[in-house]
Amino acid sequence: MEARLLGAGRTLRRADVAERAGASSEDARLLWRALGFASPRDEDVMFNETDVAALRASADLVQELQIDEATALSMARAFGRTTDRLAMWQTQLVADFVSGDNGIGLDRHTALRTAELIGEMADQVEPMLVYAWRRNLAVAISRMVADSEPESHIGVMRTVGFADLVSFTQLVRQLSERELAQLVLRFEALASDIVSSHGGALVKTVGDEVLFTHQEIGGAVDIAFDLVESAAADDLVPRMRVGMATGRVLARLGDIYGTTVNRAARLTAQARPGTVLADAAVAEVVRDRTGVRTAAIDPIDLPGIGEIVPWALRRERPTGADEGER
């Protein structure tokens, strides 16, 4: 199966790869480690011509495009971390399909059939991977250009939102492994679809929480409202609560950092089930927007941030909505 996926069996040692790629053995070792693979011994026959091509491509970044070695290795690290998660995720999806049981109680037959099916589909899936990567590059470049300003600033302006599943820890104790798997898949799909439909960025999901951003405050608020309302209408996903803040963030390693992120996270913890809490900067922009109601609530002291006045945001229903739903 490895030979099928990589185009050939294992025929080369690390030194052989370096020699054929015109690079040093140390370069080969650093690239292999940056991609996230376990270090082989010098005598281990672990590689083939695919590895030679990868090392040569990394060297070309440095020599032809004048990218420094640290940047080239960081790019390799980004590929390694991203594709490691992608490979695990897709393998589990195929295993779920093969077993028909969300992968719970994986047996050897299911594992071998999954491996066989992945081998058959790899060539067909690969163009989609490249397509999605190039499309996302285009989106990332567009955002970067939109963020650029005449003055030099650290970080970029973003509206940040955390959506949290209410009472998730208690719920987990009540669910079977099969039910928990179904919930996780549903939550991931729901959050991803809503964030992308409004032109936002899904930064990450961590257990019962999703972190998203948007370049526009209004777009981020729409995401928050849709997440809360979709969870309330879903029989499987528990209620959500959302905390939001706007300001500068530092984007690194596919994640975001800074006081704005911390403020949004703390507001999420203060929000009641089914509600959206925002800082004053978010509320100021949407307070006169049709279909949005804002209300300041009592000041709260956020650890590490200080006292702020949170604003509750609510999507107003059209005139004539059932009074019991108001």
The more confident residue out of 317 and 97 is: 97
pLDDT tens digit sequence for 123-135: 999 999 999 999 9
Mean pLDDT for 318-322 is 56
Nearest to 55 by CA among 78, 72, 38: 72
pLDDT tens digit sequence for 202-222: 999 887 899 999 999 999 999
Helix extents (H) in 160-216: 168-174, 177-197
Residue 326 binned pLDDT confidence (cut-offs 50, 70, 90): very low
Q: What is the pLDDT of residue 323?
A: 43
Residue 151 binned pLDDT confidence (cut-offs 50, 70, 90): low
Q: What is the pLDDT of residue 40?
A: 85
- Structure token pair of residue 243: 């905390």
Nearest to 188 by CA among 163, 169, 213: 163
Task: Answer whether residue 96 shows pLDDT above 50.
Answer: yes
Residue 105 binned pLDDT confidence (cut-offs 50, 70, 90): low
Residue 241 binned pLDDT confidence (cut-offs 50, 70, 90): very high
Task: Answer whether residue 322 shows pLDDT above 70.
Answer: no
Q: pTM score, two decimals?
A: 0.76
**Residues 25 and 35 sit within 8 Å (Cβ to Cβ):** no
Please give the domain boundaries of the chain with CATH numbers for all domains. Answer: 2-143 (no CATH), 155-325 (3.30.70.1230)
Q: What is the pLDDT of residue 210?
A: 92
Task: Specify the length of the chain in residues.
Answer: 326
